[in-house]
Structure 1
Amino acid sequence: MMCHAHSKGVRIVMRGACSLETLFNESARTAWVEQTVQSAVGNFTDGFNIDFEQSLQKSQAHYLTDMVRQIKDAFKKALPYAQVTLDSPYSAECTFGRCYDYRAIGEIVDYIMIMAYDELVVDGRAMANAPLNKTTKGVDDFVKAGVPSSKLVLIVPWYGYDFPCSMLTESDVCLYKLSTQRQSAFGDIMKLLDNNSTTGRKWSEADQSPYFDYKVTYKNEKVVLFF
């Protein structure tokens, strides 16, 4: 299957990350890099996606930068054509506690993959998975941090969130209890819109995103679902 994919011009990369304990230990980090490269070569892959997603203080950011440089150098030595990328949250401003040195990392990797989803604000207000204004600002934050736009890849979601409303305001804002929201795949969203919606498709000017209401009959529960 791998050979067939390559024959069609498809690039296959591995994905993974080391633990925080390994990141802070130079010898353990070096061993992890060597094992990762050996696995990639042995499986005939074309690179590596660093899916670290761990919180780091600014004073600790250099550890991640060092790891990224190590793995990029090791992959280029073993597989000169290899592509190395890093996953990041939707903004470069210490989002989710990930205070990485994006400028330095941007100089090393082939691409920074901006995961433009799960941008919910923890204020109990239903909102889009990836509001246009927050997503746009997030991309701008990377550019302002010194990452060339040519190094940025925007990853957009194929799912939304439904929010069980504890109250629906006069301005049509759904207030919900934190942690009660649920992810919904796009296909399921469209089925709910066609078969269960009580309002039809609506539009959020604030988030620049569609949404609709539906009711869970057996719970007598009003739910707002954002695309």
Structure 2
Amino acid sequence: MRSWCVTAALVCLLAGAVLAWPAPPQPPCPCAQPEWCNPVKTPPRKEVFVFAVRNDTWKHYDWDKVTTVVMFGFYSEELMCYAHSKGARVVLKGDVKASDVAHLPDPLFRDDWVITQVALMLKQHMDGINIDIEQAIPAGDPARDGLTALVNETTFVFHAINSASQVTFDVAWSPDCIDGRCYDVVNIAKSCDFLFVMSYDERSQITGPCVASANSALETTLGGYQEYLKLGIPADQLVMGVPWYGYDYPCLNLSKDDVCSIKKVPFRGAPCSDAAGRQVDYKDIMRLMRNSSRRWNDTFKSPYFNFQEGGQTHQMWYDDPQSLQYKYGWAVKQGLRGVGMWHGDTLDYTTTDPKVKKQTQEMWDSLPKYHKKS
């Protein structure tokens, strides 16, 4: 084991050893109010967990509801200050690359990874980290236990530095080795504050007929949560992540019953996948639907519509306030930790069109009305 760098007075444990490390100098606060650089100290509460992928729309979020924002792929001092002024946490994106998976069993690799993330949190005045890996790891691979150890060590060190910091981990819509991600979700859940369940891209591996279908079908979505709960993971350690986007599928054939046959695009052992389509932001879905008729699939509790583009029939599957209410309502009833979405920037925040502004507002209004301070 090696020495670390933390604040001069801080002593923490990592992997069973006592390690003390002097931190790099804390950078000056860039906020208009110095207290906005302080970490949010709110105790555990119900979450509205938002991924931000752009640096030009976040001011338009409903900050009366947002509790945590993940800066996904960028950093903004202005966003950090603004979120803290609204009592919301801002956390890092903790990425583990495919090339790094094989190194997860190595304690020195994990030490370096945690050191890097901690230094970044301190430098940027952040409140924690959201660990997003999404790489395939077989059940018997030593990297599986290495990943669990990484989450455990990250949480321990982050909490040692700031007991109110937040460490979360993204998991697939089901714990059943989705896309080859055979993670030890039970022990990962015990090691961090909560799991963000990505209840979308449920057609990444299509083993049945190669047809277009719902991105987040209600029965499939809730079935995934039931499996997590059966594993003994408490409901208050699960945040329901929903899609604020959809999939546009070019149809090879569209039957009289609206069944859209799609191109066979294999993925990790499945003959077909949603890669036959393309992801589309909610604002663009609403634009495409202007000349089409919204339809409803009552089995999947999901809207869709057909449209023409370039002389070909397409079928769009997506979620809107009606379909999301079924999911949000279940999350509240079951006592989940909260809800969130991928991602907060798919809506149209710039238009002056009253109809489009209403569509944007309705998406935010559909979120559960949690008491933000509780």
Indicate the TM-score class for this superposition, using the shorter chain for normalisation: over 0.9
Aligned AA for 2:112?
A
The CA deviation at 1:170 is 3.2
Distance 1:3 1:211 in 2: 39
Aligned counterparts, 1:84-163, within 5 A: 84-120=167-203, 121-122=205-206, 123-163=209-249
C-alpha distance after superposition, 1:181-210 (max 9, x if no partner): 11111111111112x31xx11111332111
**Which residue of structure 1 aligns with residue 86 of structure 2?**
8
Contact kept? 2:196, 2:239, Cα under 8 Å: yes
The correspondence for 2:120, drawn from 20, 26, 39, is 39
The CA deviation at 1:106 is 1.2
Distance 1:111 1:21 in 2: 25
Distance 2:82 2:176 in 1: 41
**Which residue of structure 2 aligns with residue 222 of structure 1?**
313
C-alpha distance after superposition, 1:30-63 (max 9, x if no partner): 1111111111111110001000111112223211
Distance 1:76 1:180 in 2: 43
Structure 1 regions of 5+ residues with no counterpart?
none
Contact kept? 1:34, 1:74, Cα under 8 Å: no
The correspondence for 1:180, drawn from 276, 293, 296, is 276
Aligned AA for 2:316?
L
Provide the TM-score with structure 1 as the length reference.
Answer: 0.93
The CA deviation at 1:180 is 3.2
Contact kept? 2:249, 2:316, Cα under 8 Å: yes
Distance 1:202 1:6 in 2: 41
The CA deviation at 1:169 is 2.1
SS for the counterpart of 2:243 is coil
Contact kept? 1:41, 1:78, Cα under 8 Å: no
The correspondence for 1:58, drawn from 131, 135, 139, is 139
**Which residue of structure 2 aligns with residue 67 of structure 1?**
150
CA RMSD of aligned residues (A): 1.4
Contact kept? 2:106, 2:146, Cα under 8 Å: no
Confirm whether residue 203 of structure 1 aligns to residue 286 of structure 2.
no
Provide the TM-score with structure 2 as the length reference.
Answer: 0.57
**Which residue of structure 2 aligns with residue 26 of structure 1?**
107
Q: Which runs of 4 or more aligned residues in structure 1 lie more than 3 Å from their structure 2 counterparts after TM superposition?
A: none
Higher helix share: 1
Contact kept? 1:102, 1:146, Cα under 8 Å: no
C-alpha distance after superposition, 1:64-108 (max 9, x if no partner): 111111100110112221100000111011111111111111112
Aligned AA for 1:94?
C
Distance 1:114 1:175 in 2: 29
Distance 1:73 1:14 in 2: 16
Distance 2:241 2:124 in 1: 26
Distance 1:56 1:4 in 2: 38
**Which residue of structure 1 aligns with residue 22 of structure 2?**
none
Aligned AA for 2:313?
K
Distance 1:10 1:135 in 2: 27
SS for the counterpart of 1:48 is strand
Confirm whether residue 78 of structure 1 aligns to residue 161 of structure 2.
yes
Distance 1:22 1:3 in 2: 35
Distance 1:22 1:29 in 2: 8
Structure 2 regions of 5+ residues with no counterpart?
1-77, 265-274, 319-374
Distance 2:103 2:139 in 1: 18
SS for the counterpart of 1:13 is strand
